C-alpha cells in the first residue's frame, strides 16, 4: 500500500484499545484455589505492606539530632566534697559523657630516677651488670640508667629507670568508690529535626520548666522528663552498680523517636532504652577506665598527680524514624500489589494444566496452536476466514 | 504415547513461542483513555523516576567524612587578652567545637567549711539544732556540719557545710561578654570519600593556599573558602549574637555534598547551612553552658577557679549523596516501568466492561467461556474443531 | 433480569477461573530468542539478585557500635620520659584519639606587654606615632598600646601590644619528634550490636585474655588482636611516619563488619582498613595540629605554657552490614523475578510482528479485531453465535 495509506492506518491503529483475551474456566475447584491465592496476595499487601509497614508513607530515617548532657550531683570522699567539675568529663556535655566512680591516684609524681616494677621482664637484678643502660622496655615505665637499686623500701633490687617517680604500681592509692553516685542524675536534652517534613521535636515538655529539673524519669509516670538517675540506668541495663564502680563500664542510652506525622506530631514522644555496650566477660579489657594527670608546680619543679579513673561512660545514641503520607510510594506499592496478583495465574495455570485438565480440553482452548491451521482443511479455512480473510470461494463454501 | 514420544514432544514444545492473544477494540473513546493512561504512566517514569530521581544511577549516601575545625581570633577582657587556647574547647578540633562567650568565675575555691546557700531547702537556720549533721541535700552544695553560721557577711544565718568554699552562687563574678567574638572565624576542613565510587573531595580549592586563610565564606562570592565568621553563622541561623552571648546556644553547621559523578566530579561543591539545634524557648534548659575548673596549688593547698561558661557550640554535621550511572538499577527501573504500563489494561478493561460495552459484545469476545461449548451444537462442533479436534463426522460435515 | 438472578450469576461468576488465552507459535527461531531472553532474565535474578546480592535476606546496615580506645607506649624526650597521659588526648578513649608526635612549646607566657611580631601588617614602626593605641589587628596577637618598642633583643622596632608575652612566633621552642611513637600501640575495642537480629559481636576473642594485650594485629596471623602499632597504621595508610611527625595527619581506621547470620555468627570477624582522611597536598591547612596550654601559678601570677602540637588523630569509623534469611524479601524478589520474565514477551512480540511475521498470519491470529465481525457475513454469524448470542434468526440460520 502507499505511504499515506500506511501512515493513515498506523494513526488509526494507534487509537485502538488492545486487551488480552481471557478464557473463563467454569471449574469450582480451580476458582476456589484462584481466589484463595488472590486473597493471600491481597491480604499480604493490605495487612503487611500497607498497615504494618506503612508503605503509603514517605519516610525519613536519619534526622538531624543535637544532644546536650549535664550531670548533676555531689558526693563525699572522706571529708572532701566531690562535684561534677571533678568527676565528669568531658565538661562540654556532648553525646558522650563519663562519670568517675573510683580513682587510683599516684600523688606527687615527678621526672626522676627510681626503681622499675618487679613484674617488668628482667627488671629484677642483683648487680648493675644486670641492667642495660639506655634500654627502653616496651612493657616498662621508662629508660634504664644501668644501675641496680633496691625496690623502694623493700629488700630486693630492681633496675633503676628514668621515669615519672614513684611508679604507679608502687605508689597508687585506691580511693573508696563514690557510692553516692548512684543518686547522681544526668539531664539529657535531645532536639531532633526532620528536614524533609520540617518538623522539630524536643524531648522536653514546654510547660512547667521549673519542675523540669527536679523530676526523675520513669517511662510510665514521666515520659517527658529526661533526667535519669545513674542507679536507674544501671538497673535498666541489668548491671549491678557496685560492680560498675569496681570495673567501670560503657552504657548506651538509646533515644528512639518513632513518629507518624499523619497523626498529631506532638504525639511523637521518644522512648529510652539502656544497654551495656562493652564486654561483660572477665577480660583485662573488660570494663571502662582511663588515665589522666593533674599537673602543678612546686618550688619551680613540675609535679603531677596521675589518676587512673574507673567510671561509667554514657554513649547517647539517637535513632529517628518518621513517616508521612505521600502519593508516589502509595502509587508504586499499589501498582506492585496489582501486578503481583498476576502471580496467581501462573500458579493456577500450572495447577490447571497439570492436575485438573481432563483430556486437554482447557489447554486446547487456552493454547491456540498456529501449526494446527492445516487440519482439518475446512476448519482451517473457517479459522482463517474468521479472521476476515477474503477468499471469495471460501465464504461461498459456507452453507447459509 | 511412549516415553520417547512424550520427551520428543516436550523438547519440541520447549522451543515454541507463546504469546497472549489480544483483542483489538476499535473504539476511539477507549483508545484515547488507554493512551492517556499510558502517557501518564510513562511520563511519571521518565520525568519523575528517571530525570528527577535519577533512578538510572547507583547511589551512595553515607560517605566517609573527616572534619577538622580550628577557631581563630582574639579579644580583650578588660586589660587582658583572651585567645583561642582559653575560650575554645576541646582543643583537638573535631566535629564539635565550642567557644566561650561569657564566663561566671568563682575564684580561689578550696575544700573547707562555709555557709550553704539560702535557696537550698531548709538551709536557713537560727540555731545549730536546725541543721542535721552529716545531711547531704541533693539540691545543695555539700554535707552539713551541724552548725548554724551567718551567711558570709550578711546578718541572716544558714547551715554550715563542707564544700568547695565559697559557694558559687555567692562568690561567682560575671565577666563581661566577649563581644569581639562576633569576628572570630572558624576554619572547617572537610574531606569526604565515597568508597563505592573511589572519589575523594575536599571543601578547599587546591590553588592559592596563602589567600585561603584570609578569606571569609560567602555562598556567592567564595564557595570554596570554609572560613566562617561567628557573626555570619549566627545571622544565617537567624539568631541575635548578643542573645547568644547571654544564654549560649548550640548551632548546627550542615555541610551538604550533592554529587553527580556522571558529570565532572570537580563540579561537586558542598553547600553550607546553619540552624540552631537546641531549644529557643525560655526554659532553664535552654541555651548552652558548661562548668569546668582550673586547679592550682597555693602554699601546698589545692585551689580551683570554678568557671561557668556560656558559649556557642558548633556541631558540624556532614550529609553526602553521590550518584553515578549503573546498568543494574537502569534495567530494574526500566522493567518496572514496562510492567507498570500493564496497569493501564486493568483500568481500561474495567472502564470498557462497565461503561462502554454495548450489549456485552466485547466481554463475549474477550471471555471465551469453556462452559458454553455445548450450545448451539453446530457452533460447538465448529468451535471445538476449530481447535483441531478430530471428530470424523464433523470434518466430513463440512463441505469441501 | 431480576436482582436475584444477577446476584446469583455474579456469585457463580466469582468462582470462575480466568486465564489469558495464549497463541503458540511453532517457530524455532522465535522460540530460541524467547528462551534466550528468559534465560538471561532468570540468570540475572538467580545469580545477581539472589546469590551475589543475597536478596533473600533481611538486612541491617546501621548497628549500634561502641568504641573504646587506649594508647600504650612511652618515649624519651631528652632525659625526660613521656607517657600516654601527656601525649594522648582526649583521655576518655572515645572513637577519636590523637597522639602528639612533636611539640612547639612557648614556656612561661603571662599577660603583659611585649613587641608584636614583625610579620603582622604594619606592626613595624620607628616612632610611637606609627602605632595606633587600642588597635586590635585581627591577624595579630593583641591590642596595641601605642608605643613603639624594639623587637625583643633585636635592633629593629615593632609596636608594643598587650598579650600573652612573649609571643609564640618569637619564643616557641621546637622539641624533637617523638620517634619512639612509631612503636606505640593503640588498643581498639569495638562491640557491635544488631538489634534486629539480637546479635552482639566483639572484635576480641574471649579466650587467652592475658596474651591479648601483648599481641600485635596482622590481618593474616592475628585477625582477633585489635592492638595496632602506629607504624603499622601509617604504613597501611601509605604514609611516611617521619612525614606525619613533621606535619601531623588525620588517619581513618575503618572497622568493617560483614556478617551473614545464615552461617555461624561467630564466623563474622571484622576487617580493618586505614586511610589518611585529611589532605595530603602542601596547603597551610594540610596536616593536623592543635594548640593547648598548661596553666600554673608562680608567686601569685598566672603563667602558661602554650603548646602547638603536631600529631596523628585516629578517627575510628565502624561500618556494619548483616543479613539473615527472611520470608518477606524472598517472596517479593521471587515475584519480581517472575513478573520480570513477562518482559520477554514484549521483546519477542516486537521481533515477531516486525521481522518474522510472514504475511501477517501471526498478527491476524494474535489480534482478534472486533471491527472485523461484519465481513464476510456467514463467518461473522458463526463467530458471533459461537459466543452464544441469541439472535433467533441467526441461530436458526445455522444448520443442525
Contact C81 A346 (CB under 8 A): no
The mean predicted confidence, pLDDT, of chain B is 81
Cβ-proximal residues to C317 (8 Å cutoff; 6+ apart), any chain: B64, C95, C252, C253, C254, C255
Contact A315 C66 (CB under 8 A): yes
> Would you state the cell numbers that stand for residue A262, as one nine-digit string?
499523619
A374: nearest CA in chain B? B388
Instruction: Give how far Cα C255 sits from Cα of B180, B186, C269, C315, Å.
Output: 43, 30, 10, 11
The reported pLDDT for the residue numbered B236 is 92
Instruction: Give how far Cα A378 sits from Cα of A364, A369, A384, B386, C364, Å.
Output: 18, 16, 10, 9, 18
pTM: predicted TM-score of the whole model, two decimal places: 0.82
Nearest to A25, CA basis, from B373, B357, B349: B373
* Closest partner CB to C20 (pick from A22, A283, A339): A22
Q: How far apart are CA B178 and CA C295, in angstroms?
A: 21
B185: nearest CA in chain C? C138
Query: Per-residue pLDDT for B399 more than 80?
Result: no
CB C185 within 8 A of CB C72: yes
Three-state SS letters, chain A:
CCHHHHHHHHHHHHCCEEEECEEEECCHHHHHHHHHHHHHHHHHHHHHHHHHCCCCEEEECCCEEEEEEEEECEEEECCEEEEHHHHEECCCCCCEEEEEEEEEEEEEEEEEEEECCCCCCCCECCCHHHCCCCCECCCCCCEEEEEEEECCCCCCEEEEEEEEECCHHHHCEECCCCHHHHHCEEEEEEEEEECCCCEEEECCCCCCHHHHCCCCCECCCECCCCEEEHHHHHHHCCCCHHHHHHHCEEEEEEEEEEEECCCCHHHCCCEEEEEECCCCCCCCCCCCEEEEEEEEEECCEEEEEEEEEEEEEEEEEEEEEEEEECHHHHHHHHHHHHHHHCHHHHHHHHHHHHHHCHHHHHHHHHEEEHHHHHCCHHHHHHHHHCCCCCCHHHHHHCCC
Judging contacts by C-beta atoms under 8 Å, the chain A residues touching residue B390 are: 376
Binding site annotation covers C210? Answer: no
C89: nearest CA in chain B? B92
> Would you state the cell numbers that stand for residue A135, as one nine-digit string?
634500654
Q: How far apart are CA B322 and CA B265, in angstroms?
A: 10
Q: Backbone phi, then psi, for C345, in 5-degree steps?
A: -55, -45
Query: Per-residue pLDDT for B376 more than 50?
Result: no
User: Which residues in chain B (71-130) have CB-CB distances under 8 A to chain A?
Assistant: 89-90, 96, 98, 111
Query: Per-residue pLDDT for B249 more than 50?
Result: yes
The reported pLDDT for the residue numbered B207 is 62
Q: For cell 616494677, what's the residue?
A: A117
Three-state secondary structure call for residue B214: coil
The reported pLDDT for the residue numbered B381 is 32
Three-state secondary structure call for residue B106: strand
Tell me which of A20-24, B35-39, B181-185, B225-229 is least confident.
A20-24
B24: nearest CA in chain C? C369
Q: How far apart are CA C170 and CA C165, in angstroms?
A: 10
In the structure, what pLDDT confidence band is assigned to residue A283 with cuts at 50, 70 and 90? low
Is the minimum CB–CB distance between C22 and chain B shorter than 8 Å? yes
State which of A2-6, A119-123, B104-108, C82-86 shows the largest mean pLDDT.
Answer: B104-108
Report the neighbours of A using a cutoff of 3 or more CB pairs below 8 angstroms: B, C
pLDDT in tens, B6-46: 777 777 777 878 788 888 887 788 888 888 888 988 888 88
pLDDT in tens, B233-248: 999 999 899 988 888 9
Cβ-proximal residues to A285 (8 Å cutoff; 6+ apart), any chain: A279, C187, C189, C204, C209, C212, C213
The reported pLDDT for the residue numbered B281 is 60
* Closest partner CB to C379 (pick from A20, A34, A382): A382
Q: Backbone phi, then psi, for A18, in 5-degree steps?
A: -110, 130
Mean pLDDT of A334-351: 78
Three-state SS letters, A173-234:
EECCCCHHHHHCEEEEEEEEEECCCCEEEECCCCCCHHHHCCCCCECCCECCCCEEEHHHHH
> Would you state the cell numbers that stand for residue C312, as one nine-digit string?
596523628
Is the minimum CB–CB distance between A348 and chain C shorter than 8 Å? yes
Nearest to C252, CA basis, from C313, C315, C312, C190: C315
Q: Backbone phi, then psi, for B143, in 5-degree steps?
A: -95, 130
Is the minimum CB–CB distance between C370 and chain A shorter than 8 Å? no
Contact B379 C398 (CB under 8 A): yes
Q: How far apart are CA C4 and CA A386, in angstroms?
A: 37
Contact A379 B398 (CB under 8 A): yes
Contact A368 C369 (CB under 8 A): no
Burial of B176: CB neighbours in 10 Å, binned 0-12, 13-18, 19+? exposed
> Would you state the cell numbers that stand for residue B389, as one nine-digit string?
479436534
CB C187 within 8 A of CB C204: no
The reported pLDDT for the residue numbered A204 is 81
Is the minimum CB–CB distance between C299 and chain A shorter than 8 Å? no
Is the minimum CB–CB distance between B393 and chain C shorter than 8 Å? no
In the structure, what pLDDT confidence band is assigned to residue B173 with cuts at 50, 70 and 90? very high
Cβ-proximal residues to B327 (8 Å cutoff; 6+ apart), any chain: none
Q: Please count the other Cβ atoms lying within 10 Å of the Cβ belonging to residue C153.
A: 6
The reported pLDDT for the residue numbered C388 is 33
Cβ-proximal residues to A98 (8 Å cutoff; 6+ apart), any chain: A88, A89, A288, A290, A311, A312, A313, A314, C92
Query: Per-residue pLDDT for A208 more than 70?
Result: no
The reported pLDDT for the residue numbered C284 is 56
- ∠ CA A177-A180-A186, nearest 5°, is 110
Q: How far apart are CA C103 and CA C245, in angstroms?
A: 10
H or E segment and range at residue C363: helix C361-366
H or E segment and range at residue B237: none
CB B93 within 8 A of CB B69: yes
CB A187 within 8 A of CB B285: yes
Q: For cell 595527619, what's the residue?
A: C249
Is the minimum CB–CB distance between A20 and chain B shorter than 8 Å? yes
Note if the bond before C351 is cis, omega within 30 degrees: no
Contact C19 A366 (CB under 8 A): yes
Which of the two residues, A195 and C389, has the higher pLDDT score?
Answer: A195
C296: nearest CA in chain B? B296
The mean predicted confidence, pLDDT, of chain A is 81
> Would you state the cell numbers that stand for residue A61, as one nine-digit string?
530515617
pLDDT in tens, B333-359: 887 787 777 777 777 888 877 777 666
CB B267 within 8 A of CB B330: no
Nearest to B234, CA basis, from B180, B275, B269: B275
Interface predicted TM-score (ipTM) = 0.79
Nearest to B252, CA basis, from A64, A199, A257, A62: A64
H or E segment and range at residue B354: none
Which of the two residues, B205 and A400, has the higher pLDDT score?
Answer: B205
Is the minimum CB–CB distance between B138 and chain C shorter than 8 Å? no
Q: Please say whether the dihedral angle defined by the alpha carbons of residues A22, A26, A30 and A35, taken in this order, is positive or negative.
A: positive
Contact B297 A298 (CB under 8 A): yes
Mean pLDDT of C138-156: 87
What's the N-to-C CA distance of chain A in angstroms?
Answer: 34
The matching CATH number, chosen from 1.25.40.10, 3.40.720.10, 2.60.40.10, 2.60.490.10, for B60-107+174-325 is: 2.60.490.10
C64: nearest CA in chain A? A317
Domain boundary assignment for chain B:
22-32+331-399, 60-107+174-325, 117-166
The reported pLDDT for the residue numbered B99 is 93
The reported pLDDT for the residue numbered B395 is 33
Judging contacts by C-beta atoms under 8 Å, the chain B residues touching residue C25 are: 16-19
Cβ-proximal residues to A79 (8 Å cutoff; 6+ apart), any chain: B111, B162
Q: How far apart are CA C146 and CA A162, in angstroms?
A: 49
Query: Per-residue pLDDT for C93 more than 70?
Result: yes
Contact C339 B339 (CB under 8 A): yes
pLDDT in tens, C243-290: 888 889 999 999 999 999 998 877 888 999 998 887 766 555 578 999
Q: Backbone phi, then psi, for C151, in 5-degree steps?
A: -70, 95
Amino acid at each position: 500500500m502507499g505511504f499515506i495509506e500506511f501512515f493513515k492506518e498506523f494513526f488509526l491503529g494507534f487509537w485502538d484499545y488492545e486487551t488480552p483475551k481471557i478464557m473463563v474456566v467454569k471449574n469450582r475447584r480451580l476458582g476456589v484455589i484462584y481466589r484463595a491465592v488472590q486473597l493471600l496476595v491481597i491480604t499480604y499487601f493490605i495487612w503487611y505492606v500497607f498497615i504494618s509497614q506503612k508503605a503509603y508513607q514517605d519516610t525519613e530515617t536519619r534526622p538531624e539530632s543535637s544532644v546536650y548532657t549535664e550531670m548533676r550531683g555531689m558526693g563525699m570522699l572522706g571529708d572532701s566534697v566531690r562535684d561534677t567539675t571533678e568527676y565528669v568529663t568531658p565538661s562540654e556535655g556532648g553525646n558522650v559523657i563519663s562519670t568517675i566512680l573510683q580513682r587510683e591516684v599516684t600523688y606527687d609524681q615527678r621526672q626522676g630516677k627510681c626503681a622499675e616494677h618487679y613484674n617488668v621482664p628482667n627488671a629484677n637484678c642483683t648487680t648493675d651488670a644486670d641492667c642495660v643502660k639506655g634500654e627502653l622496655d616496651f612493657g616498662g615505665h621508662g629508660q634504664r640508667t644501668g644501675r641496680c637499686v633496691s625496690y623502694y623500701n623493700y629488700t630486693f633490687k630492681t633496675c633503676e629507670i628514668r621515669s615519672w617517680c614513684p611508679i604507679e604500681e608502687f605508689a597508687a592509692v585506691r580511693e573508696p568508690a563514690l557510692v553516692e553516685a548512684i543518686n547522681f542524675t544526668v539531664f539529657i536534652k535531645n532536639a531532633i529535626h526532620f528536614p524533609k517534613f520540617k518538623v522539630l521535636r524536643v524531648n522536653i515538655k514546654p510547660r512547667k520548666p521549673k519542675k523540669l529539673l527536679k523530676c526523675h524519669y520513669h517511662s510510665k509516670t514521666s515520659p517527658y522528663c529526661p533526667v535519669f538517675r545513674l542507679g536507674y540506668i544501671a538497673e535498666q541495663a541489668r548491671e549491678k552498680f557496685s560492680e560498675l564502680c569496681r570495673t567501670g563500664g560503657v552504657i548506651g542510652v538509646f533515644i528512639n523517636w518513632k513518629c507518624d506525622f499523619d497523626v498529631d506530631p506532638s504525639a511523637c514522644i521518644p522512648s529510652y532504652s539502656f544497654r551495656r555496650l562493652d564486654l561483660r566477660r572477665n577480660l583485662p579489657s573488660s570494663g571502662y577506665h582511663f588515665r589522666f594527670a593533674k599537673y602543678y608546680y612546686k618550688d619551680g619543679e613540675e609535679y603531677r598527680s596521675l589518676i587512673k579513673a574507673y567510671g561509667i561512660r554514657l554513649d547517647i545514641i539517637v535513632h529517628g524514624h518518621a513517616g508521612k503520607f505521600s502519593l508516589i510510594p502509595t502509587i508504586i506499592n499499589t501498582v506492585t500489589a496489582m501486578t503481583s496478583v498476576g502471580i496467581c495465574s501462573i500458579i493456577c495455570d500450572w495447577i490447571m494444566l497439570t492436575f485438573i485438565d481432563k483430556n486437554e480440553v482447557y489447554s486446547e482452548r487456552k493454547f491456540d496452536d498456529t501449526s494446527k491451521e492445516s487440519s482439518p482443511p475446512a476448519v482451517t479455512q473457517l479459522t482463517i476466514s474468521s479472521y476476515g480473510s477474503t477468499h471469495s470461494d471460501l465464504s461461498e463454501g459456507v452453507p447459509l
